[in-house]
Amino acid sequence: MRAVVVHGAGDLRVEERPEPVAGPGEVVLDLEWGGICGSDLSYYRHGATGTAVVRAPLVLGHEVAGRVRSLGPGVTGVEVGLPVTVHPATPVGDLALPDRIAGRTNLHREVRYLGSAALLPHTDGAFAEQKTVRVDQLRPLPAGVDTLHGALAEPLGVAMHAVRRAGEVRGRDVLVNGAGPIGALVVAALRFAGARTVTAADVSPAALGIARALGADVCVDVGAGEDLPGDVELVIEASGSPGALGAVLHAVARGGTLVQVGNLPGAPTPAALGDLVTREITWVGSYRFVDEISDAVAALAAGLDVSPLITHRFPLADAAEALRVAADRSTGSSKVMLQLA
């Protein structure tokens, strides 16, 4: 079978790998679609993402969907041909969490995530024609949710987790800073959760167009010199740009809340943070998700349309070109999809 493998910065190859075999409690999937994530881009461009450095060949990809190909010993309740998406996380070691974070499985000290170089050996991802996963990682796709859109359940789960971290959003006015794929999905998740109005801000008119298609009422083109609105009670920061933090914090109303879902750099970087104190802002982090991927599948089945996010599709053989397009915002790309089957 073929797989998309990164060997280091700028070194991406479509390679032949042995066909997987399901062990006890596992299934083999025929993958059909995969969405390119920012971490995939970082591994491809820099050979690392955050503190995770590629030290051995790594199969990329954690936003995927496909169909069950075969069952391992002891697997019941799953039929061959079932369309599914996959929860990419596997906690490592002692699964007990302190009472204060009970149930927040995304906060385990060590988590293996599909397509991650954070641990050795690396955890191969699912940009491949086939992949073995545990049966408990499967999330069946209901009628009406095809595998193309099912592959978006993982990033939509990230967005829905960020919205959940914000508390009750129904009837509230919200600013989303950053309209890349996660920011645009945050817009969609906010509308689905009943937010009264959603304002999206970005430097890219193309990204703002997608945010509007996903439900943004107002779009702010920061790249054209437009200012963020002020006194916003709830802001979700999805750009991950330290340079934007000063303006974003200043946009939050006194006593308001800022949810940080955009990944910030692991190294020291300058940022203007004074308003965090003087406005008594509650700054909340949001990391991956617990099981909001299941909520995302249910939302897709209930009619949440995230189609505008998909801007490009490439066959697996053209993976390098797909990642180049995804990394270049001048292409107008948002979510670039790989057809794996």
Structure confidence by residue, pLDDT tens digits, 28-50: 999 999 999 999 999 999 999 98
- Give the residue carrying structure tokens 């910065």: 9
Residues near 328 by beta carbon (within 8 Å), at least 6 away in sequence: none
Which residue ranges of the chain lie beneath pLDDT 50?
none
Give the model's pLDDT for residue 266.
Answer: 82
Give the model's pLDDT for residue 193.
Answer: 98
Give the model's pLDDT for residue 95.
Answer: 76
**How does pLDDT run across 122-151, given as a tens digit for each residue?**
999 999 999 999 999 999 999 999 999 999
64 beta partners: 34
Report how far residue 252's alpha carbon sits from residue 228's, in angstroms, rounded to the nearest whole number: 10
Report how far residue 146's alpha carbon sits from residue 301's, in angstroms, rounded to the nearest whole number: 10
Produce one character per residue of 271-291: b if its CB has 16 or more CB atoms within 10 Å, e if not.
beeebbeebebeeeebbbbbe
| Domains of the chain, CATH where assigned | 2-152+306-339 (3.90.180.10), 156-285 (3.40.50.720)
Distances (CA, A) of 88 to 60, 212, 273: 12, 29, 34
